């Protein structure tokens, strides 16, 4: 799950194409985030993990080096590979964020996710209202129309929402804001599966309406209005994610 949209495309349950390297990284990454491999503990030996995941030593070591680069593990001579403290994890890394979808998330972490998203995306909305081009407005209208057309399809609706936010980030003209799309995708996935099927359907309708209002503000060049509309979307999503939180339970559509 390293490409934008990969997490949302998994909501349908369709298996994604993968290679051994990606498979092992995802398996170990999810195990760390979920607590199966607890912070501060030493990972199983190479031989054990090679047998568990059915991969060669080369593939395993490459995966562990990737995880070390993300701050999640630390290899120590004569000790083994230890799971790093959470404070060292690169939580803005798209894969690391995606792995959190499989974990039992604390309310504090969820609140933090939406707080950071609000700080970044309200600024993106402000800039987009000032800098948007006619082509970007056309794309925003196209994607919100797709949200209306595919309302009954969880995955397609969520992907259309993601595209709206990606275009707004592009319209902001700030490359750092564009790099936050992984955080946005995780929150959209959490909202998409929160609650009962009836609640999820109602949430998709509400989100489509809120998104259309946001695009209208951006098209009109109303920066304060765009900021308020973006904040309303994020606050709505934050409430849905917290209300739909099911500690220890499987995700609604997984």
This prediction's pTM:
0.86
**Which ranges of the chain have pLDDT less than 70?**
1-2, 12-18, 245-254
- How far, rounded to the nearest angstrom, does the alpha carbon of residue 133 sit from its chain's CA centroid? 27
Measured between alpha carbons, how far is 29 from 63 in angstroms, rounded to an integer? 10
- Comparing CA positions, the residue from 241, 177, 182 lying closest to residue 207 is 241
Q: What is the pLDDT of residue 251?
A: 43
Q: What pLDDT score was predicted for residue 16?
A: 54
Q: Is 173 helix (H, G, I), strand (E, B) or coil?
A: coil
pLDDT at residue 192 in the model: 92
> Tokens 């056309």 label which residue?
138
Cα 18 to the center of its chain, rounded Å: 19
pLDDT in tens, 158-211: 999 999 999 999 999 999 998 889 999 999 999 999 999 999 999 999 999 999
Domains of the chain and any CATH numbers: 6-88 (1.10.10.10), 105-243 (1.20.120.530)
Helices (H), the chain: 6-9, 20-34, 46-53, 57-69, 94-99, 107-131, 134-149, 154-172, 175-178, 181-192, 197-219, 223-243
């Amino acid at each position: 799950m390293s490409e934008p949209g990969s997490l949302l495309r998994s909501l349908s349950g369709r298996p994604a194409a993968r290679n051994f390297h990606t498979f092992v990284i995802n398996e170990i990454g999810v195990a760390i985030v979920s607590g199966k491999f607890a912070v501060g503990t030493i990972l199983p030996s190479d031989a054990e993990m090679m047998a568990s995941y059915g991969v060669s030593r080369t593939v395993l070591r490459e995966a562990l080096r990737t995880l070390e680069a993300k701050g999640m593990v630390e290899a120590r001579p004569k000790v083994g590979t230890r799971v790093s403290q959470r404070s060292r994890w690169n939580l803005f890394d798209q894969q690391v964020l995606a792995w959190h979808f499989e974990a039992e998330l604390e309310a504090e972490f969820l609140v933090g996710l939406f707080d950071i998203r609000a700080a970044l995306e309200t600024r993106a909305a402000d800039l987009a209202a000032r800098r948007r081009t006619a082509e970007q407005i056309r794309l925003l209208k196209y994607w919100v129309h797709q949200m209306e057309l595919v309302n009954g399809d969880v995955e397609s609706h969520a992907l259309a929402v993601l595209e709206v936010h990606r275009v707004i980030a592009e319209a902001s003209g700030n490359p750092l804001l564009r790099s936050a799309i992984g955080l946005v995708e995780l929150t959209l996935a959490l909202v998409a599966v929160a609650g009962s099927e009836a609640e999820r359907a109602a949430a998709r309708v509400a989100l489509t309406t809120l998104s259309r209002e946001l695009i209208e503000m951006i098209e009109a060049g109303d920066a304060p209005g765009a900021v308020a509309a973006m904040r309303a979307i994020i606050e709505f999503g934050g409430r849905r994610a917290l209300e739909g939180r099911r500690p220890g339970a499987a995700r609604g559509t997984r």
